[in-house]
């Protein structure tokens, strides 16, 4: 039976999704929502509209939300589910804030709600995480979950500086004109919130995790790691035990024995450690029109098959624990006084480089408040 699909958004991902759907003989795109009126057609069809209510009142079976707008996206998804339409989305911002509500609404309406494209593009991490969780506890997950920051750090590892790496990433289409969410770690934070919620079966919130990006990194920080045969990666981490959950997003120096050492450029990678899957690793394209579109269409295929994602998600806050103390690298100006005693300190080119043991990101952020600094975990 032919299923009718409405696309909300027609940017890079929306265009790629439309191209993939054209090749399928059991679906038909009947409308495409855009923010302003266009006179042009798609394959000779007048599909464009600015009227979401028209889509809501249409016979579309599946609404694919790709607007990239937190508030509008949430409103569109909620209204569509209330009308009994299945929803597929790539919006990490909406899912990280409204997962429980939208999941529950979809179940009440007996329709699908899928968001595999919201985390790591083409990597099928959400489906596999749900499967592993059904078999037993997920104890640990860790990953490179942002292609922009990884591309930039790779470029800097190869000799570039921050501004040239950013410019290159923007020219290649990996970085937005405003890259803040990518380079400050907010994009990864949202993805980690979604994965952690699924791993623990409870509602994690974005504000429960300390996060720190890579926007202040300098070539000397990269060189510090390379001198020790380590690469710098922006990593998300979740550890679960009987007492609660620990999460963090932070730059991390990793050695050549780490599974992510060779994950360079715009690639993403996620590692799971569960009751029956020890160090299960997924690598692949985490961004870009085609990669994200493949995940969107995979979810559409779930809807077409009548499958349901079966997982428990309690409407309660988990016990969030402070990360266990680790060793960190901290670089500040030569004039800065962080009050850190008993630390290894190096002075170079007008900066001080600290090696601080038995601490965590939150404590270091407090100590460095008001200073221009760069912080990274060692190992």
Angle between helices 125-135 and 186-200 (to 10 degrees): 30
Backbone angles phi, psi at 335, to 5 degrees: -80, -15
Q: Which pLDDT value is given to residue 31?
A: 95
Distance CA 52, CA 57 (A): 9
| CA 303 from centroid of its chain's CA atoms | 23
Measured CA distances, 215 to 172, 182, 300 (Å): 19, 9, 36
Domains of the chain: 3-114 (3.40.50.720), 125-286 (3.30.360.10), 326-378 (3.30.70)
Report DSSP letters for 116-130, one per residue: GGGSSTT--HHHHHH
Residues acting as catalytic residues: 191
Give 125 or 309, the one with higher predicted confidence: 125
pLDDT in tens, 4-59: 999 999 998 999 999 999 999 999 999 999 987 776 777 767 789 999 999 999 99
88, 62 contact by CB (below 8 A)? yes
Q: Which pLDDT value is given to residue 180?
A: 96
Q: Which pLDDT value is given to residue 342?
A: 80
Which three-class secondary structure state does DSSP give residue 75? helix
pLDDT in tens, 82-117: 999 999 999 999 999 999 999 999 999 999 999 999
pLDDT in tens, 262-297: 999 999 999 999 988 888 999 999 877 899 999 999
Which three-class secondary structure state does DSSP give residue 186? helix
Distance CA 61, CA 55 (A): 10
Query: Two tokens at 321?
Result: 């624990």
pLDDT in tens, 315-365: 888 999 998 999 999 999 999 888 887 889 999 999 999 999 999 999 999
Query: Two tokens at 112?
Result: 């699908």
357, 327 contact by CB (below 8 A)? yes
Token pair 């690598």: residue: 283
Q: Which value, in Å, is the radius of gyration of the alpha carbons in the chain? A: 22
What average pLDDT does this structure show over 223-233?
97
Distance CA 35, CA 206 (A): 28
Mean pLDDT of all residues in the chain? 94
Measured CA distances, 130 to 116, 249, 312, 321 (Å): 11, 22, 9, 23
Query: Two tokens at 5?
Result: 């699909």
Measured CA distances, 334 to 346, 349, 366 (Å): 10, 9, 18
């Amino acid at each position: 039976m032919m299923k009718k699909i409405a696309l909300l958004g027609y940017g890079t991902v929306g265009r790629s999704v439309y191209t993939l759907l054209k090749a399928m003989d059991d679906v038909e795109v009947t409308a495409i929502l855009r923010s302003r009126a266009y006179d042009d057609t798609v394959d000779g069809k007048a599909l464009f509209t600015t009227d979401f209510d028209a889509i809501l009142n249409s016979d579309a079976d599946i609404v694919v939300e790709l607007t990239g707008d937190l508030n509008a996206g949430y409103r569109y998804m909620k209204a569509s589910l209330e009308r009994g339409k299945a929803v597929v989305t790539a919006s990490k911002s909406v899912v990280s804030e409204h997962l429980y509500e939208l999941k529950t609404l979809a179940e009440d309406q007996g329709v699908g709600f899928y968001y595999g494209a919201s985390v790591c593009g083409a990597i099928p991490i959400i489906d596999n995480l749900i499967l592993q969780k059904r078999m037993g506890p997920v104890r640990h997950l860790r990953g490179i979950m942002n292609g922009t920051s990884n591309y930039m750090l790779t470029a800097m590892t190869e000799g570039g500086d921050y501004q040239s790496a950013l410019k290159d990433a923007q020219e290649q289409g990996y970085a937005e004109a405003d890259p803040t969410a990518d380079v400050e770690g907010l994009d990864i934070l949202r993805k980690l919130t979604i994965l952690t919620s699924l791993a623990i079966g409870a509602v994690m919130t974005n504000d429960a995790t300390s996060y720190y990006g890579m926007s202040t990194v300098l070539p000397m920080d990269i060189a510090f790691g390379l001198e020790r045969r380590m690469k710098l990666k922006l990593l998300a981490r979740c550890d679960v035990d009987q007492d609660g959950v620990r999460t963090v997003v932070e730059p991390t120096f990793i050695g050549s024995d780490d599974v992510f050492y060779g994950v360079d450029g715009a690639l993403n990678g996620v590692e799971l450690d569960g009751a029956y899957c020890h160090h299960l690793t997924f690598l692949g394209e985490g961004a870009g029109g085609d990669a994200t579109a493949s995940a969107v269409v995979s979810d559409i295929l779930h809807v077409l098959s009548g499958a349901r994602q079966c997982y428990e998600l309690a409407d309660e806050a988990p016990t969030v624990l402070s990360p266990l103390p680790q060793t960190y690298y901290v670089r500040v100006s030569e004039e800065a006084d962080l009050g850190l005693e008993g630390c290894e300190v190096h002075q170079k080119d007008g900066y001080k480089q600290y090696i601080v043991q038995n601490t965590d990101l939150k404590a270091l952020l407090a100590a460095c408040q008001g200073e221009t600094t760069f912080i990274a975990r060692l190992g």
